[in-house]
A and B are shown apart, each in its own frame.
Chain A
Amino acid sequence: MIDIAGLLADNIMYMLLITLGGVLVSVSVHFVPVGGAPAAMAQATGIGTGTVQLAAGAGLTGLVTAGAMMGVTDNIGLVLASGAVGAMIMISVTMLVGQWVYIYGVGCPPASAKVKYDPITKDRQDLYVSQGTEGHAIPTVSFISGVIGAGLGGLGGGLVYYALLMMGEVAAGLTVKDIMSTTGHELVGLASIFAVGIFFMNAVIPSYNIGGTIEGFHDPKFKRWPRAALTSFIVTLLCAVLAVITLGGM
């Protein structure tokens, strides 16, 4: 039998960490310049693919780098930093290569259609936006916004993963470091797939919130983030309860 109430009471801290991680992932997506299909044709600012692919690419890299750090140390700060930096590197490389394709392949200058001046470089934007498009490529402000977003996403993903493993640690009677350095420990697989599931849910919710495309924190749609955060908070909290019972009852 599982003592559900007891498990929930023991793991309340980790449940809150998982929820916080989910909300961070949800907010982070609003920073990433997601261009979707229009951007793939250089008709909108941002990276030319959907939210889920970008969030998954950057966020799962964050999970891998956070996991790699867990095998070396128990320090939560280092683990989270590792997750954030991994995701930031991944999204930076994606944006950089995308930028090469837009500039040297398509032949368009990076320009935002949402603001007249780039808030960071103060460069004029509207003159460079081709007629009939919503901007193209990745201007400086979107690039920086994307890096911030990936950092938050990696932080959130790492937090979820770490909290899940810490919960299982109590059940398995091992430390996180021991679990990660044991090849094929079942807790690692279960925590990873839970983290991936929670991550995907929190990547899709904001993508419905922004209607598929956003340029970064200077985009008017960015102001909608509290709605996605509230939705993610409730949904992730429910998932955290399920995770506590699943992992704690192992």
Chain B
Amino acid sequence: MSVGGSGEAHAAIPQSKLIAFGIIGGLVGIYGAHFLGNIAGGVFSFMGALGAICAAIWGAGAVRRVASYGLGTGVPSIGMLALGMGVVAAMFGLAIGKGFEIAIIGPVIALVVASIIGLLIGIFANKVLKMNIPVMEQSMTEIAAAGTILIIGLSVAMTGSLMFNVVLEEVITTGYIAVIFIAGGMALLHPFNANLGADEKQDRTLYTALEKGSIAMILSGIVALSTQGASVGVVTILIGIFLWYFGFTGFYARVKRDAFKVVGTGLLPSEEELE
């Protein structure tokens, strides 16, 4: 259970497994989309979005862990902070990849830089702002890194490439980065924000993260329709819809499990029935 301000949240899946899942899944997805980009006209770019979903689940787990101590302000703030750190680190990583003419080091550099920014904010939050949350340093590092993988993953799903020039031209200049910013931030902050309370369970929160990540995937598919062509976009959208359905039914099954009772209220009574 986890109420805001109640201390360490109970976790069925240890955070270390979520970290491994997020980093490995995220990088495999991003690199898979990049290297398989030339095969079959780039239909494999959906793998970038799968990597982003892995990062979203990891990030939502980290948000849950830190926010259950009570941040003093709304949970959404931490999602926006994550994407703020993430976007700076992601652009830096990809630009370094271009500058040194080895595009594939971009995501790894971005991940390292995001972790440094996150760790710095975590240390300052505890030592200077006196928030006194024991897991602050670790969680901030994780959240920043997850935000970075989310941004790169969704960008790769939209463009099918890790090249800074391509991402700059097709994601940043067109303004689709704003979609990534909000949809990705939502996938990080919304799961715990929606589920927090006395009956919060880790698996229900993580299923919400999967569902929100899938919505971001569908959106990136819609963008891919115009940037990469109809076949690529449709594949991403269809896989996204399937994952959304899986995530939503999983979430709803856990709502029914955790709730005392789920009853239908029926339609609103008509005027005659009220009299």
Contacts and interface: CB of A to CB of B under 8 A. Distances in A.
Interface of A: 1-2, 36-37, 50-53, 56, 184-186, 188-190, 193-194, 196-201, 203-205, 207-209, 211-213, 227-228, 230-231, 234-235, 238-239, 242-243, 245-246, 249-250
B81 A200 contact: yes
Contacts, number: 135
B177 A199 contact: no
Contacts of A1: 99-101
Contacts of B125: 205, 208, 231
A208 B129 contact: yes
Contact of B74 (A36, A227, A238): A36
B74 A201 contact: no
Contact of A204 (B84, B101, B130, B181): B84
Interface string B92-123: 10011011110000000000010011001100
Contacts of B98: 249
**Dominant secondary structure of chain B at its interface with chain A:** helix
B173 A51 contact: no
Contacts of A227: 128-130
Nearest to A204: B81
A121 B120 CA distance: 42
B172 interface: yes
B168 interface: yes
Contacts of B124: 205, 230-231, 234-235
A78 B181 CA distance: 30
A201 B87 CA distance: 11
Interface residues of B, number: 43
B175 interface: yes
Interface in B61-86: 71-74, 76-78, 80-81, 83-86
B33 interface: no
B91 A189 contact: no
Given A208-B73, A227-B128, A197 B99 contact: no
A53 B173 CA distance: 24
A189 B77 contact: no
17 contacts: A52-B74, A52-B80, A53-B76, A186-B168, A196-B84, A196-B87, A197-B84, A197-B87, A198-B84, A200-B84, A204-B80, A207-B73, A208-B71, A227-B129, A234-B120, A235-B120, A239-B88
Contact of B72 (A199, A208, A228, A250): A208
Given A185-B173, A204-B81, A235-B117, 12 more contacts: A36-B74, A52-B80, A184-B173, A199-B84, A201-B84, A205-B125, A211-B72, A211-B73, A212-B74, A231-B124, A242-B89, A246-B95
B169 interface: yes
B202 to A, nearest CB: 24
A190 B84 contact: no
A198 B83 CA distance: 10
A177 to B, nearest CB: 19
A56 B76 CA distance: 12
A188 B169 CA distance: 11
A2 B99 contact: yes
A208 B131 contact: yes
B132 to A, nearest CB: 11
A190 B100 CA distance: 19
A50 B76 contact: yes
Q: Which of B81, B87, B89 has the most CB of A within 10 A?
A: B81
A245 B128 contact: no
Contacts of B116: 238
Interface in B175-225: 175, 177, 181
A194 B175 contact: no
Nearest to A229: B128
Given A50-B77, A201-B121, A189 B129 contact: no
A167 B121 CA distance: 26
Nearest to A226: B128
Nearest to A200: B84
A197 B72 contact: no
B129 A196 contact: no
Given A186-B172, A194-B87, A211-B73, A235 B99 contact: no
